[in-house]
Structure 1
């Protein structure tokens, strides 16, 4: 799991604000199919929002950690049921501040 500086995290939060979730984690939880969709989303967008169906905060926190570990992404933010993650592409479209 990659880590971000506070300045980078703040910058990404600003970019994510206007974006819509591209992946939904349903009642079946974090399945291999969901992880595959997250991979596709990261490859296409670098910064994605994920909407989690669980009402349990601990479950959502665990999912965020598991997603970041499995994909090599960095957690940006978790607000309620929305998870935001970032992973730079081979040719990054998002240039992070130093």
Structure 2
């Protein structure tokens, strides 16, 4: 699902009040962290990820890796914070994706 401009704006507004639930530190973006992010996206659909200052990772590189590995979309990158969206495959978790389709 490719997001249009209005859909991205809606997701940005929904993510504004969210706190980052994952932090990428000096261990970098490993396979286990990617798996955990995927599980969180399945339940929440929209999350924030924070890159700590002691990481070697670049926000743009992390965005590309997540999009390839998880088939998700990075909606926004603000400094060292990424806003990531992926529609849930389970109907009971589909709150945000239903609203995005209407926008």
TM-score normalised over the length of structure 2:
0.84
Structure in which a larger fraction of residues adopt helix:
2
Distance 2:16 2:54 in 1: 22
Q: Which has the larger radius of gyration?
A: 2
State the partner residue of 1:93. Answer: 95
After the TM superposition, which segments of 4 or more aligned residues of structure 1 sit over 6 Å from their partners?
A: none
Displacement of 1:54 after TM fit?
4.7
Give the CA RMSD over aligned residues. 1.8
Total equivalences in the alignment: 96
Give SS of 1:77's match: strand
Q: Which runs of 5+ in 1 are unaligned?
A: none
Q: Which runs of 5+ in 2 are unaligned?
A: none
TM-score normalised over the length of structure 1:
0.88
